[in-house]
Chain A
């Protein structure tokens, strides 16, 4: 994912390993570079993105 503050691209799963301080989960992940709190996409949003991504891939390269 891309940090909403500093633009750093990082792996959501990696960043999640260093967190877990919030009871019940804060549904966010901190950027490993600037520590900005980025919201984690919900399952619904992830599903929708996957559908749109698949459609994009079916259409072919945007170039």
Chain B
């Protein structure tokens, strides 16, 4: 067997007092989590020289010694294909890490162990971290790490880095790593392959980072970068070596790579014999069972309905928009805060017009702050708790798979679930997210559907709370929106012809949500949302006050009165529509006010809710539509949505009058 040396293959980075540890492995095995656990906040991210691939580096102290930790891009093999893999190998070749930590997924041990074999063959200073042990154990898999360590001849550590398990052991292994003087473990291949490898390796005379045996394999796989390094190192001896490598490659008809991979997989299989024990009958966890049910239409649709019923209807609608709003808006603002502030302002401020601005009908405090804090805040808070809870369970990607087939009819794919789901939080942001869809056609269709039939969290909460008092109204509203969503989706797919792109994604495991995650995500979303709406609500109050003072607001209401009459709505309902154009949530709060004043019956409330949900997107969403799709498309969508909203409202009102439904 050939010898190896610590000298560099090209120009090694200067060895400093700081030792280096490189984390390598397939993508998504927890390298970055381990990197963060090892380094904490002391991290720099930069492009690897000459590439667009980013590499994270961080410093840490392990057992009193300074270490630099390098998080390499994901790689599947030392024989590289992608730019990311090339960068990861460059780091191994040119930065001469003192320790290479190979992180792999315990659940896919057999598939990933082939790379460990390669790293050992290359005689790199390897520590193996068998990560995600918690999930593997939950699946009933048993892994004898001691036996594996014995067979591989390197330190092997079991870990679940996402849960901080095994991190101390990894630190200790890094600190205590000692490179063995003798050559690493030898994994024998078939006679024919061994003959080819030994023939090439035997002709090499230079010093390399990787073992000559490993280099011989890479040369026989026609690895361009390694060929250059060997050409440089072997000097005059290279032509003979290259000729022999070409001759062997020709003899094997290019099958060397395939044979080597197959045999290496067999070696990995043999290494795991007795190490990796899967239960006779695989333990199917509850999470897996739920995961399977959630993606199949027969079980997935009832599951979705259950989630919507308990999450949206009971929690956001009844609890958030009902109980909490009652407490905060009626009992706190209307009964305590508003009378006190009104009295105070009237005593202090002598000018009626200023009094009107602060505590009048559309006053900053009596309307703007009351809407923001008393009505919208509890609704979006409960919505974001529900949203973050679902997000943390891993349900959303399953929802994407569930609806993928149905979305194909609308010219979309399951990928469009991302903006649709986000739209229930805030349509403006969701419209921005449509840019991530693959084709322009998908982006336009998703923008139309968002503008039309996806109510934002506050609007949804208020509407559910208002209509839940009359379940018939809620059913009519839901059916109308669903039918319009389907009809417009089908129509849009016909008007904008083209193929829906393929959609595939790797499903992350379904899990019990972590309380701290749900709480922090909710808090973060709430903070962003509240800071955004509060100044807008105050501004809207000022504009409405200006409109009232100048008489413009009255004129706007007068202009809209015939439209309201066509919809069978009272004149005052125009206020909610004008509010709605400022912000969707502001409009919904306006509707809430009308209902509490007893100005509308169940039919009118349903017609108003349907029309307002479909109604033209708020100013912010309209501006984002213009930015994303351009003036023409945005104006077209705005016009189409407005006509459809009032048209649907008119037809619904006629239908309810004729049938006497909700009377």
Contacts and interface: CB of A to CB of B under 8 A. Distances in A.
Interface residues of A, number: 34
B524 A62 contact: no
Interface in B146-182: 158-159, 162-169
Contact of B525 (A21, A39, A52): A39
Interface stretch (B28-36, B259-267, B274-282): B28-36
Contacts of A2: 33, 162
A39 B524 CA distance: 6
A21 B432 contact: yes
Contact of B391 (A5, A10, A35, A62): A5
B663 interface: no
B165 A62 contact: yes
Given A6-B397, A11-B32, A11-B45, A35 B524 contact: no
Interface string A21-47: 110001110100011110111100100
Contact of B397 (A5, A30, A49, A50): A5
Given A26-B528, A37-B422, A37-B429, A7 B520 contact: no
Contacts of A10: 32
A26 B396 CA distance: 21
Contacts of A45: 520, 523-524
B432 A61 contact: no
Contact of A9 (B33, B394, B418): B33
A48 B166 CA distance: 23
B56 A11 contact: yes
B520 A41 contact: yes
Most buried by B among A10, A22, A35: A35
A29 B32 CA distance: 17
Interface stretch (B235-243, B467-475, B503-511): B503-511
* Overall SS of chain A's interface: loop
Contacts of B396: 4-5, 36
Contacts of B436: 30, 35
A41 B169 contact: no
B521 interface: yes
Contact of B524 (A5, A9, A14, A42): A42
Contacts of B528: 26-28, 39
Contacts of B33: 2, 9
B422 A63 contact: no
A46 to B, nearest CB: 9
B43 interface: yes
Contacts of A6: 397, 505-506, 508
A13 to B, nearest CB: 5
Given A9-B28, A14-B45, A27-B527, A22 B163 contact: no
A7 B508 CA distance: 5
Interface in B509-548: 509, 516, 520-521, 523-525, 527-528
A22 B30 CA distance: 30
B359 interface: no
B523 A8 contact: no
B572 interface: no
A19 to B, nearest CB: 11
Contact of A35 (B162, B418, B429): B418
Interface of B: 28, 30-33, 41, 43, 45, 54, 56, 158-159, 162-169, 388, 391-392, 394, 396-397, 415, 418, 422, 429, 432-433, 436, 505-506, 508-509, 516, 520-521, 523-525, 527-528
15 contacts: A4-B521, A6-B397, A7-B506, A10-B32, A14-B54, A22-B432, A27-B524, A30-B433, A39-B524, A39-B528, A42-B527, A50-B41, A56-B164, A61-B165, A61-B169
Given A37-B418, A63-B166, A63-B169, 16 more contacts: A5-B396, A9-B30, A10-B32, A13-B43, A14-B54, A28-B429, A34-B415, A37-B422, A39-B524, A40-B524, A60-B168, A61-B165, A61-B168, A61-B169, A62-B163, A63-B159
Of all A-B residue pairs in the complex, the 6 with the closest CB atoms, nearest first, are: A7-B508, A35-B436, A61-B168, A39-B524, A4-B391, A27-B528
